[in-house]
Structure 1
Amino acid sequence: MSDFVLSAPQGANKKKRIVGRGSSSGRGTTAGKGNKGQQSRSGGKTYVGFEGGQMPLYRRIAHRGFSNYPFKKEYSVVNVSLLEEKYSDGESVNKETLVAKGLISKVDSLVKILGTGDLTKKLTVDVDKVSASAKAKIEKAGGSVKEASETKAN
């Protein structure tokens, strides 16, 4: 019967440390916070980037210029060789069909057709952008190209 006595391993259960409860507790007076200073005070916090009163780095460095990052556009790229592989003759290439065939992940992403590979099928292409070489290949195969920038005025 003594085989089933369960006990926690040594050191697993520790007594909770209670601070600031008188000098005889061993953690009285300053309660482990050292002597005086900002960290010992209630509500004594500093903000991110605080350098002890020295002029912080983010204020020492000049902030000038312009970044285009918030306005940049990322295009999902599809090559002509993939259109040759996935589409049959006479089909229409647009965002919905590209998503359905697994060439792009989302309908609301911007799409650009690039000219790598050959095209023999007649396709109607209606996407955001088409490179000059891709346009030439599509039109040479008897297809037509309609870019989104032509349909809506910028």
Structure 2
Amino acid sequence: MQLNTIKPAAGAKHAKRRVGRGIGSGLGKTAGRGHKGQKSRAGGYHKVGFEGGQMPLQRRLPKRGFKSASLKFNAEISLTDLQRLEAAEVDLLTLKQAGLVPELAKVVKVIKSGELSRAVSLKGIGATAGAKAAIEAAGGSLAD
């Protein structure tokens, strides 16, 4: 096969619709634009969201809500996840390798959900007050 012999598959390409080329084409006279009105005229069209002077929808509705773009860098794990993890020392890299937090995560926090019965040492991972108490009660420690 050479570059000069390559062709698109049969039926993949078709002729562009040529409007305003006579009555026989089916798209003559008004060329599919209907009769009169702004949309039928050359250069006559309105901007996106324009409703003919009526207050547009995006301005009628109240401004509400906000979703921080930094949320994707935060993650949380439960005490149950820590229990399942075999490592005695847990840091961000360990959690990423285990697939417990996304690769994008920069800040991880342990929440008090489930049980922890073995000592786990956390490095560079935050914890809620309840989770911290549970980790220390199991003989673990937290280091920032």
Q: Is the 8 A contact 2:91 2:125 kept in 1?
A: no
**Which SS does the other structure have where 2:81 is aligned?**
helix
Could you say which residue in structure 2 is the equivalent of 1:8? none
Summarize the alignment of residues 14-25 of structure 1 with structure 2, pairs less than 5 Å apart: 18-22=18-22
Question: How far apart in 1 are the matches of 2:31 and 2:77?
Answer: 65
Given the two structures, how large is their TM-score scaled by the length of structure 2?
0.67
Question: How far apart in 1 are the matches of 2:26 and 2:110?
Answer: 74
Q: Deviations over 1:47-86 (max 9, x none)?
A: 11111232323334565xx744236636422111221221
Q: Is the 8 A contact 1:96 1:107 kept in 2?
A: no
> Is 2:122 the counterpart of 1:84?
no
Q: Deviations over 1:79-130 (max 9, x none)?
A: 1122122124xx2111101112222221534311122233232222124430
Which blocks of at least 5 consecutive residues in structure 2 are unaligned?
1-14
- TM-aligned CA distance change 1:24 to 1:112, over 3 Å: closer
Could you say which residue in structure 1 is the equivalent of 2:122? 125
Given the two structures, how large is their TM-score scaled by the length of structure 1?
0.63
- TM-aligned CA distance change 1:133 to 1:40, over 3 Å: same
> Which of 118, 137, 142 in structure 1 is aligned with 2:134?
137
> Is 2:96 the counterpart of 1:99?
yes
Could you say which residue in structure 1 is the equivalent of 2:53? 53
Q: How many residues align?
A: 129
- TM-aligned CA distance change 1:83 to 1:22, over 3 Å: closer
**Which SS does the other structure have where 1:69 is aligned?**
coil
- Percent of pairs with identical residues: 40
Could you say which residue in structure 2 is the equivalent of 1:108? 105
Matched AA of 1:83: L
RMSD: 3.1
Structure of larger gyration radius? 1
Question: How far apart in 2 are the matches of 1:61 and 1:86?
Answer: 48
**Which SS does the other structure have where 2:71 is aligned?**
coil
Question: How far apart in 2 are the matches of 1:141 and 1:83?
Answer: 12
